[in-house]
């Protein structure tokens, strides 16, 4: 199974002065009324695993109002190992440590990564392309530290190129240099994304078929550089990207931005041959989101050789009975899972019997 969280401690984090939670190795349910701090606790777990929070907070937002600094500690145990991870936040700074040693946020998932599912994710099919790219990259950066570095390097080169494109008098030799840098970074990112995507897409389709009772889902990567790129080497991708950058140069100069590359790509889901974004029912779109998250858990297990922490924040109330059962069937398979809810009525007595239930009261 790998490592799992056995203890979480919060000090002056968000709404908590102090909180200690001892999650079970299986399912832990956080139950309580609105604004009781359930999501805050999930966010703390995400920070200590993914090294970032889905709320994209500034460090000072993590600090309890009136306090000077926040601290989150977790103990991870498993496979005969004990690992202590910690996150400190104070206005303007945030830091991470593992067993007392300072590490980068991007190194946090190496101990234990997490997959988070929130109500916003349920709309992933119909939201903007950047949401789907972020989902893929968010998974990639946790599953492989190299991915995070490649992504950051590429984003920086695109930013630099865009800055140059906005200059009143563009230095064309400098632009050629940035084209080369963007093409190299982009090809590296694209190669990593495509590898990840092909493995993930296969799993999403398989899980979706189960959740939907046999419907056929296809996931494809819509790349601004062209189609059928899966078999190209990184060097071939780089060459192709350079050609495209030259082809769109006039347009990019006019718009002041880089209009092709992995930062403009998308993921397309189709159900029974029809684009799920344009034609899928809300239920079908939600099933795709659920299948995607479950597929991420499976793939993380394959890539890392250990199961990730699954965080289900408030999604039970958003799923209908069939999808809820599918999700529950999945988490009962030995994956450490934390679920937040305002209502225990969504869970079967069998699940509640084996789960650790933590009550969050009114503050």
- Residue numbers in the known binding site are 32-39
Task: State the minimum distance, in angstroms, from the CB of residue 46 to ligand ATP.
Answer: 12
Q: Which of 24, 28, 39, 111 binds ligand ATP (CB under 6 A)?
A: 39
The size of the interface with ligand ATP (CB under 6 A), counted in residues, is 18
Minimum Å gap between C-beta 16 and ligand ATP is 8
With binding defined as CB under 6 A, does residue 20 bind ligand ATP?
Answer: no
Q: Considering beta carbons, is residue 40 or 285 the nearer one to ligand ATP?
A: 40
d(CA 334, CA 25): 8
15 binds ligand ATP (CB under 6 A): yes
* Shortest distance (Å) from residue 260 CB to ligand ATP: 39
Rule CB under 6 A: is residue 28 a binding residue for ligand ATP? Answer: no
For residue 193, state whether it binds ligand ATP (rule: CB under 6 A).
no
Does position 342 interact with ligand ATP (CB under 6 A)? The reply is yes
Using the rule CB under 6 A, is 65 a contact of ligand ATP?
yes
Would you count residue 259 as binding ligand ATP (CB under 6 A)?
no
Q: Does 69 bind ligand ATP (CB under 6 A)?
A: no
Q: Which residues are known binding-site members for ATP?
A: 32-39
Give dist(CA 283, CA 266) in Å, integer. 21
Nearer to ligand ATP, 15 or 306 (CB): 15
CB of 53 to ligand ATP, least distance (A): 11
Contacting range for ligand ATP; rule: CB under 6 A; set: 37-45, 154-162, 164-172, 212-220: 37-45
Q: What is the dihedral of CA 202, 206, 209, 212, to 10 degrees?
A: -100
- Within 95-154, the residues that bind ligand ATP by CB under 6 A are none
The pattern of x and - marking residues 344 through 363 that bind ligand ATP according to CB under 6 A reads: ----------------x---
- Contact between 38 and ligand ATP by CB under 6 A: the answer reads yes
Residue closer to ligand ATP, measured from CB, 63 or 151: 63
Residues that bind ligand ATP (CB under 6 A): 14-15, 32, 34-40, 61, 63-65, 314, 340, 342, 360
């Amino acid at each position: 199974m790998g490592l799992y969280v056995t203890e979480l401690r919060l000090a002056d984090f968000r709404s908590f002065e102090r909180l200690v939670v001892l999650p079970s190795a299986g399912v832990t349910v956080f139950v309580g009324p609105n604004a009781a701090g359930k999501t805050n606790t999930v966010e703390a777990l995400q920070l200590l695993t993914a090294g970032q929070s889905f709320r994209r907070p500034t460090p000072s937002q993590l600090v309890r109002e009136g306090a000077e600094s926040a601290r989150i500690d977790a103990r991870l145990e498993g496979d005969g190992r004990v690992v202590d991870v910690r996150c400190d936040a104070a206005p303007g700074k945030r830091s991470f440590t593992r067993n007392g040693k300072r590490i980068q946020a991007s190194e946090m998932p190496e101990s234990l990564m997490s997959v988070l599912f929130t109500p916003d994710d349920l709309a992933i099919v119909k939201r903007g392309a950047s949401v789907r790219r972020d989902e893929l990259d968010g998974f990639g950066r946790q599953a492989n530290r190299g991915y995070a570095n490649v992504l950051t390097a590429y984003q920086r080169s695109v930013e630099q190129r865009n800055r140059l494109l906005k200059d009143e008098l563009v230095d064309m030799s400098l632009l050629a240099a940035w084209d080369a840098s963007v093409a190299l970074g982009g090809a590296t990112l694209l190669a990593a994304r495509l590898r990840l995507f092909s493995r993930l897409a296969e799993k999403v389709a398989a899980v979706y078929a189960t959740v939907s009772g046999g419907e056929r889902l296809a996931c494809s990567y819509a790349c601004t550089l062209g189609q059928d790129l899966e078999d190209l080497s990184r060097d071939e991708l780089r060459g192709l990207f350079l050609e495209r950058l030259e082809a769109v140069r006039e347009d990019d100069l006019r718009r002041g931005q880089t209009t092709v590359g992995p930062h403009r790509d998308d993921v397309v889901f189709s159900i029974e041959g029809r684009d799920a974004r344009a034609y899928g029912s809300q239920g079908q779109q939600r099933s795709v989101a659920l299948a995607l998250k479950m597929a991420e858990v499976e793939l993380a297990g394959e890539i890392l050789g250990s199961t990730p922490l699954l965080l289900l924040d408030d999604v039970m109330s958003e799923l209908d009975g069939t999808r809820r059962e599918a999700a529950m069937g999945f988490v009962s398979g030995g994956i450490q899972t934390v679920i937040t809810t305002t209502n225990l009525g969504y869970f079967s007595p069998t699940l509640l019997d084996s789960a650790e239930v933590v009550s969050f009261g009114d503050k």
